[in-house]
Amino acid sequence: MKKRTLYLPIGTKCRELLGKALLAAKAVERDWRVVIGSLDIREEFLEDSAPGLLIENNIPDDKAERFCRLKARGYVIANLSEESALYYDGEEYWTHRIGRRALESTEVIFTVGVRSEEDIRTYRPVAAERVMLTGNPRFDTLLPGVRTVYDASAEAIRRRHGRFLLVNSNFGRANPCRVGLDVVAVWRKEGKLTTPEQVDRMRREIAYKTRQMIDLQSLLAEVARTGTFDRIVVRPHPTENHDAWRAWGAAANVAVEYEGSAIPWLLAAEMMLHAGCTTAIEALLLDRPAVSFVPLPDSEFVTHADAISVNVASAQELLAVAEGWEREDGEWRRTHLAKGRATMRPYIDNVEPPLAADRLLDAAERLGVPETEPTRRPVERVPGKPDADGPASRRGAGGRALGQFRRQLFPDLRPEDVRAPVAHWVEAGVVGRMPEILRMGDSVLQLH
């Protein structure tokens, strides 16, 4: 049967899956066929599949040739940057993520907020006519009535850890997954750093984040000794070396866990402390106050995530905030949440209905995506067969590190990973019906 096909590649499963599952389920209600899964669907998979709407996460010029081939085959290419809610510098950010040659094959750029829309028009004016403000479906899942999908997981975490302090780190450049990786050298090779000024700034940022990580670990060790919380749980950023955190945590009596989405952890925690992490946005959308560790308030690397959070520079300041929240009647929290949400609004447009998923699909209806017959058949997973990013596909220490890094970002994808949340939303009335879900590959599903 001929239908339009929507392709939704996922880079970081714990961050993106539920938002794209919601988008996929709503697209099926509008009679789209949806393919959702790992980044593998960007490569050979697309070359052998029916053309449709491909929503990419960033469109740098190293994708330009492939985009050109896909467009010639009838694909419509769009962009929705998953990290564009908060960033340091608009010119640097969009120069890297919207390549001029890749843009030639891109039909539309969906934006998460007014700030990103304005920055694209300013720093990538050639893309100005292709910008559509929609918000991002990943933030839809945090809104009342939709976020109840996380309740059971949050309760299980709460039973396991009690009153705990959640710490979300953000040290991917100072503590990269691949031990010894020279981030500056890699970025220069990839063309992301092209001037001496950019190189110097990156080196300053890495030095700042390295110092911040060391100081944060000292702060956490001090807080752990006070017994203020039943437990301290660090969730490393998916791009970090998690083994380094585990080794430190074992010595400091601090738990280090990285499983599933960050959202149920935010809901379960007594307090969330971060180091310039975008989970501050998610905390505010969940009505959970966020605290940021900012040892140098005048640093050029203080982020917008810090700006929407309560800033602390020491263990004593953190403990004072915790004591104040426990003692006060709730007015302080309400004031902080209102201030944070007001500050956040230019960065995320869908802080309230209508849902970004609906807005994005309204825009997609106008793109002229062709109706096609499916060209692929469902497959059964072969027992014992390694995933594409598994150890069988890479040899040597470098290959193992790369495989570990990719598994942190996207460990696997099962039909139940999508079926369970969509079933919850069907029951809650967020989604109209349960789609059929078929396995199309080890980490690729089709909904229709």
The tens-digit pLDDT sequence of the chain (448 residues) is: 899 999 999 988 888 999 999 999 999 999 999 999 986 666 678 888 999 999 999 898 889 999 999 999 999 999 999 888 877 778 878 888 898 899 999 999 999 999 999 999 999 999 999 999 999 999 999 999 999 999 999 999 999 999 999 999 999 999 998 888 899 998 888 887 888 998 999 999 999 999 999 999 999 999 999 999 999 999 999 889 999 999 999 999 999 998 888 999 999 999 999 999 989 989 988 988 789 999 999 999 998 889 889 999 999 999 999 887 766 666 777 777 777 778 888 889 998 899 999 999 999 999 999 999 987 777 665 444 444 433 333 334 444 544 555 566 666 789 999 999 999 999 999 999 999 999 987 789 999 9
Q: Which residues touch 361 (CB under 8 Å, ≥6 apart)?
A: 23, 26, 27, 30, 32
Instruction: Provide the 8-state DSSP code for 193.
Output: -
Instruction: Indicate the class that CATH gives domain 3-141+349-447.
Output: alpha beta
Q: In what helix (H) or strand (E) does residue 371 lie, and over which residues does it extend?
A: strand 371-372
Beta strands in 181-261 (DSSP E): 231-235, 255-256
pTM of the model: 0.86
Residue 144: C-alpha distances to residues 56, 136, 352 (Å): 28, 16, 9
Q: Where in the chain is the domain with CATH 3.40.50.2000?
A: 152-344
Element (H, E) at 335: helix 331-344
DSSP letter, residue 444: E
Task: Kindly give the interhelix angle for 242-252 and 196-226, rounded to the nearest 10 degrees.
Answer: 30
Q: Please check whether residue 403 is in contact with residue 389, taking contact to mean a CB–CB distance below 8 angstroms.
A: yes
Q: Domain 152-344: what homologous superfamily? A: Glycogen Phosphorylase B; (3.40.50.2000)
CB 84 within 8 A of CB 345: no
